Structure 1
């Protein structure tokens, strides 16, 4: 009887978790992923992207990057094929409104701007970033999944959120094409 009671108690404890998950999922209107590669073309992790009613959430989990703070931006073209040439084919930031770069710039930010994230000494990074200026399907802000797609690009340094054109973030060291789930 004690085992049955404990089992029922465990099941009842899981109900709020499953309801919270269902409640979260009901507000997600679009999903996508980006598998990131480094300059050698090696996969270093994934970003899961979920669009909600007030913005888009980006969950990063990466391994194999140099330690320290890093900038990440949404770039306007969905390609990372030129990994050996610094991911230049991904173009500039997603910025259909022609805004100035920088979260702290009075004339910014552009749709591709994010806060920085941190890579630990062992090369591991986990971060959750939010952007209310870009959507997967174009229902608000700039559209990531348009005809030429979009990519997430990581830079070697942090973004100072003011300096043009990329906040002094330096070379592009990783890239991932955003693909609808």
Structure 2
């Protein structure tokens, strides 16, 4: 559990609406920053017809498993608490394996190598990059952005 709490701090990033993301684009990019404010990686979100592919690449992280989630607000300042809870408009239970879950922000765990690096690819049908495909696929690039 401690590793999961560390990941919430280490892997916070902002995916906010901006001029860099035109409304017709199907991808979004974000920097991953640590608690000290240092950029340690990047994430790319690519819209597909059925969901979003998420590519994560980072370095200088604590080795081992870490939880990774999509948060409802695209702000990680001052101490990452501004990102609020998970994207969860349906107010369902947290956890991919929870019988009443998962919520829209749940993703599989991230496994960091012994050298502190990670390259991972996730797919989720529970969000969209922009736009809204029914309530069950809220947009990452909504009016207040999202964080991972």
The partner residue of 2:85 within 76, 86, 92 is: 92
Structure of larger gyration radius? 1
| Structure 1 position 112 matched with structure 2 position 105 | yes
**Structure 1 residues 35-57: Cα deviation after superposition (integer angstroms, max 9, x where no partner):** 01001000000001101001100
2:76 aligns with 80
1:62 aligns with 58
Q: Which runs of 4+ in 1 moved over 3 A?
A: none
Q: Distance in 2 between matches of 1:32 and 1:67?
A: 27
Q: Distance in 2 between matches of 1:112 and 1:100?
A: 11
Query: Which 5+ residue runs of structure 2 have no aligned equivalent?
Result: 1-24
Structure with greater helix share of residues: 1
Structure with greater strand share of residues: 1
Q: Distance in 1 between matches of 2:99 and 2:77?
A: 34
Q: Distance in 1 between matches of 2:89 and 2:29?
A: 22
Q: TM-score, normalised by structure 1?
A: 0.65
Q: TM-score, normalised by structure 2?
A: 0.79
Higher relative contact order (CA 8 A, sep 6+): 2
